[in-house]
Structure 1
Amino acid sequence: MSTVSRLEIMDTTLRDGEQMQNVSYTAEEKLTLSKILLTEVKVDRLEITSARVSEGEKKTVQKILHWAQDAGFADRFEILSFIDGDRSVKWAQSVGIQRLNLLTKGSYKHCSEQLRKTPEQHIDDIRATVNAIAENGLQANVYLEDFSNGIKDSPQYVFDLIEALNELPVQRILLPDTLGIFNPFQTYEYVSQVIQRYPDTHFEFHPHNDYGVGTANALAAAKAGVKGIHATVNGMGERAGNAPLDEVVISIRDFLDVDINIDETKLHKVSQYVEMFSGQRMAHNKPIYGKNVFTQTAGIHADGDKKGQLYSNPLKPERFNRKTKYALGKLSGKANLDMCLRELDIEISEEEKQVLLQKIIELGDKKEVITIEDLPYLILDVFEMPENRPFKLLYCSINSTYQLKPVAAIKCAYHDRVVEAYSHGNGGYDAFMNALQEALFEFNIPMPQLLDYSVTIPPGGQTNALVQAAISWRIKKNGKPLTVTTRGVDPDQNMAAIEATVKMINTIISHTL
């Protein structure tokens, strides 16, 4: 049990999370994420940048704060600031920020070796800066950078610093495990020590994930009694990143009796947006968000769930607007297949089920796993020969020329009709899809909605290596949205994607028309 009943969550995806290598957000992306985090996920505060980063970042923050002021969220934004005279203060005022998170040295080693100052000199500098923040009508929180090493190696330095801060107009003292060196036992021990010594001070914990225990450290700090935790969406951040927002929130909510003002049904959505904007794909087995975390593969698990949810835990996918899925592989049984077919509203005979299950087991022996999205395509492959499929691509030519838009010419057949179409696009595949849309219109076949597109090339592959294109689509079956994945393999990337697309069209015809 924690000693506090209410815990603030400060998200720093747009500041600390952006320190991840090769990650940078545009102004529009930062604004979109700010809106989702504040209005839908409902985090308490956002740390969105560092003062004086660049002129472009200044314009970005101004744009965000313009929205925030109209929406009533201006007091929820914070920036990292520095002991730099009044430059950070003026920067904050120029963009409309009301709260600064002042970076100070939380260990004697950082103070003496990096700043080359005595503790007294550093405290004098902090005092002058905090007073300047307050005199300009702004609010101050203070980071004790390298706190974890400081409290272990120079505790009296840390205590002297906190006592000096408690005499200043400081709202919160932020305790970062800057280098990710704490384990959960140390976190609880040292954070408890500080809180017991200064029970009236608002402390918050800022975990990093270098040992993979960022979430566990956040949980330990919450149990010790901090009043706030910092996190980033998908654990974005420098080195191994920060503690992931979804894991932190759900762990504290489920294991401690603490109120957190987070709408957990929106955590998956914001994770998707960060993955899309950052370009950083998450592991499929990442807790809460990962693609596979609500997927059962073993037949005994599916059978137990079918008979009474015997293999479920408190992390029910419905909490996050997701669903339990039953993958199909060599460990699968008839229960897996039955539950997948029921979800897709597909009916086949018992004999066909046995044939299909045998094919699934054969694929499993080759280290392939069939998901519910793959199943319609697999059924098509098993029970319909290519020459018997109703939709055929008879001819396709894609022409790409430097500084000119690619063009595609196609000839398609559907039953007894043949249609030719021609179009251009922003890429070869885009040109093909535009031409295909014209042909499908003539055939009165609905165009599927493309959700995701990934290309896999074997490691060490040569220029003539086979390419696999996996495309996820959204279609409607009996008025209900359905996600289906098809795959194509070819030495040419465009042709692999086209093969996957043609399979998708035949899936639509077989299962929706």
Structure 2
Amino acid sequence: MKTRKVEIMDTTLRDGEQTSGVSFSSSEKLTLAKLLLEELKVDRIEVASARVSEGEFNAVKSITDWAASEGMLRKVEVLTFVDGGVSLEWMVRAGAKVQNLLTKGSMNHLTHQLKKTPEEHFSDIHEVVHKARDLGIETNVYLEDWSNGMRNSQEYVFQFLDFLTSLPIKRVLLPDTLGILTHFEAKSFIEQIIKRYPETHFDFHGHNDYDLSVANVMEALKAGCHGLHLTVNGMGERAGNAPLASVVAVVNDFLPEISIGVKESSLYKVSKLVSAFTGFGIPDNKPIVGDNVFTQTAGIHADGDNKKNLYFNDLLPERFGRKRKYALGKTSGKANIQKNLQELGLTLNDDELKKVTQRIIELGDKKERVTKDDLPYIISDVLDSDQYQQRVLVKSYVLTHSKGLKPSTTLSIEIDGKAYEENAQGDGQFDAFINALKKVYKKEGLELPKLVDYAVRIPPGSTSDALCETIITWQTKEKDFTTRGLDSDQTVSAIKATEKMLNLV
């Protein structure tokens, strides 16, 4: 099948910057411009609006200087206005060579915002376009509110397009400015236009107010549009623009007749950088670039992946420079744990695996998030517990800490089947626990080992809050030895380490 090349224009630096609370610095804009064109291989970038600020001017100047040196100046575009040439003068000073001229694509906007007739608007546009040509500036034209124009004032839209196609312009840009189109309308409207103007290049610019932007892009492509406007992470005003990563995956997987040049394996890298620059977080479940989208949580899915990749689809994480993960939690099961163990180079027998699985389920029931980096500590804790016969059992305890009062602990403990209960105060909750324990052992004429070191840490590399490990070194007359406790609560992990010590001695 013969493929049709479609241009991808990224407007993260212009329309994406209209995300509430987002502003790129000049150096950030230059860094992203280079990445978008050189690394991601988009065809064009829209980098700014003319006349906005001195900072915007400096950013555009730095981008055009770099692009000119790399032979990419015609890939850099600037939004301009029908203002008698003021925007064009700004562009000349900034070194830009392509304007995206903002015009009115609906009678509603023309009548109520500009308060002009079509003829008056067309005359103003004619002047700007010809002035741009005289200055060596290429013109593309935005029809703002075009989608509503097609719904409510088609006669005006076609009158406007009849006029535009007589001018020296390169592209007509069709924005769904308010994100109101359905995919049926997107296809129907663009088909009508391309059939009527077969020699003109048309771009589709989708917004996502109804979460239909990707569907609308698909239908716009089927209708024959020649270019798409997208943003990294779907950034943009209100609900944002059509997201670059999702559209690239959809085109590559479902529209074999369409050819685009975007490098899939760089999508995630650029997505994370844009997020870092803007502080605009990526939802964990956002397709392609979200943290969770290549993570299997259910154990049955991991088991299926072991059996001929039953839960894989065509969105393989390696395409996007990512890896598949297997979550650890109450629904993960043995298969997920085995997948993580393989990555760590660890093996367990069936009995050990069952015990580790049960411990992870217990943590999941507490709504704790367990990561692969926590796994060796859980294994160590569970297997360590098998090294001794449990003659001492800490059955229950109450830890209290109140302002102005010393911490206290009430402890219930069983030693060789005999139950004890004691209460004590201390300098902290764990100190109070140890003091209560000393009372019990004193009754039995027993002496506790001396606590000589106490350390708390989270598993190195872990980004979860599921676990903290308490390591306590004890001293008897014969030797020093160490026990470890693992829990989401620091004091509880210390008590678990102490319980191990009691059984060892």
The alignment's TM-score, normalised by the length of structure 1, stands at: 0.74
CA distance 1:200–1:376, shift in 2 (3 Å): farther
* Aligned: 1:18 with 2:14: no
1:75-474 counterparts in 2 under 5 A? Answer: 75-256=74-255, 257-379=257-379, 382=382, 473=461
Give the structure 2 partner of residue 31 of structure 1. Answer: 30
Give the structure 2 partner of residue 406 of structure 1. Answer: none
Asked whether the equivalents of residues 4 and 225 of structure 1 are also in contact (C-alpha less than 8 Å), the reply is no
Asked whether the equivalents of residues 140 and 172 of structure 2 are also in contact (C-alpha less than 8 Å), the reply is yes
Q: CA deviation at 1:4?
A: 7.0
Unaligned ranges ≥5, structure 2: 386-456, 469-489, 491-505
Q: Secondary structure at the match of 1:487?
A: coil
1:470-485 counterparts in 2 under 5 A? Answer: 473=461, 484-485=462-463
Asked whether the equivalents of residues 204 and 217 of structure 2 are also in contact (C-alpha less than 8 Å), the reply is yes
Tell me how far apart the structure 1 counterparts of residues 172 and 262 of structure 2 sit (CA, whole Å): 22
Give the structure 2 partner of residue 506 of structure 1. Answer: none
Comparing 166-175 and 71-80, the one that deviates more: 71-80
Tell me how far apart the structure 2 counterparts of residues 84 and 472 of structure 1 sit (CA, whole Å): 59
Asked whether the equivalents of residues 8 and 44 of structure 1 are also in contact (C-alpha less than 8 Å), the reply is yes
Q: Secondary structure at the match of 2:465?
A: strand
Q: Secondary structure at the match of 1:308?
A: coil
CA distance 1:213–1:470, shift in 2 (3 Å): farther
CA distance 1:356–1:49, shift in 2 (3 Å): same
Q: CA deviation at 1:472?
A: 8.5
Q: Secondary structure at the match of 1:149?
A: helix
CA distance 1:10–1:131, shift in 2 (3 Å): same
Q: For the pair shown, which has the larger CA radius of gyration, 1 or 2? A: 2
Tell me how far apart the structure 1 counterparts of residues 130 and 374 of structure 2 sit (CA, whole Å): 62
CA RMSD of aligned residues (A): 2.4
Give the structure 1 partner of residue 44 of structure 2. Answer: 45
Q: CA deviation at 1:157?
A: 0.4
Give the structure 2 partner of residue 390 of structure 1. Answer: none
Q: CA deviation at 1:59?
A: 0.9
Asked whether the equivalents of residues 187 and 219 of structure 2 are also in contact (C-alpha less than 8 Å), the reply is yes
Q: CA deviation at 1:355?
A: 1.6
Q: CA deviation at 1:382?
A: 4.8
Q: CA deviation at 1:26?
A: 0.9
Asked whether the equivalents of residues 8 and 228 of structure 1 are also in contact (C-alpha less than 8 Å), the reply is yes
Give the structure 1 partner of residue 472 of structure 2. Answer: none
Tell me how far apart the structure 1 counterparts of residues 384 and 191 of structure 2 sit (CA, whole Å): 66
Tell me how far apart the structure 1 counterparts of residues 373 and 192 of structure 2 sit (CA, whole Å): 51
Asked whether the equivalents of residues 104 and 110 of structure 2 are also in contact (C-alpha less than 8 Å), the reply is yes
* AA matched with 2:463: T
* AA matched with 1:485: T
Q: CA deviation at 1:487?
A: 3.3
CA distance 1:88–1:373, shift in 2 (3 Å): farther
Unaligned ranges ≥5, structure 1: 386-468, 474-483, 491-498, 500-513
CA distance 1:380–1:213, shift in 2 (3 Å): farther
CA distance 1:212–1:128, shift in 2 (3 Å): same
Tell me how far apart the structure 2 counterparts of residues 156 and 359 of structure 1 sit (CA, whole Å): 69
1:488-507 counterparts in 2 under 5 A? Answer: none
* Aligned: 1:487 with 2:486: no
Report how many aligned residue pairs link the two structures.
Answer: 400
Q: CA deviation at 1:366?
A: 2.9
The alignment's TM-score, normalised by the length of structure 2, stands at: 0.75
1:43-82 counterparts in 2 under 5 A? Answer: 43-82=42-81
Tell me how far apart the structure 1 counterparts of residues 314 and 162 of structure 2 sit (CA, whole Å): 42
* AA matched with 1:165: L
Asked whether the equivalents of residues 302 and 326 of structure 1 are also in contact (C-alpha less than 8 Å), the reply is yes
CA distance 1:165–1:380, shift in 2 (3 Å): farther
Asked whether the equivalents of residues 44 and 76 of structure 2 are also in contact (C-alpha less than 8 Å), the reply is yes
Tell me how far apart the structure 1 counterparts of residues 459 and 143 of structure 2 sit (CA, whole Å): 47
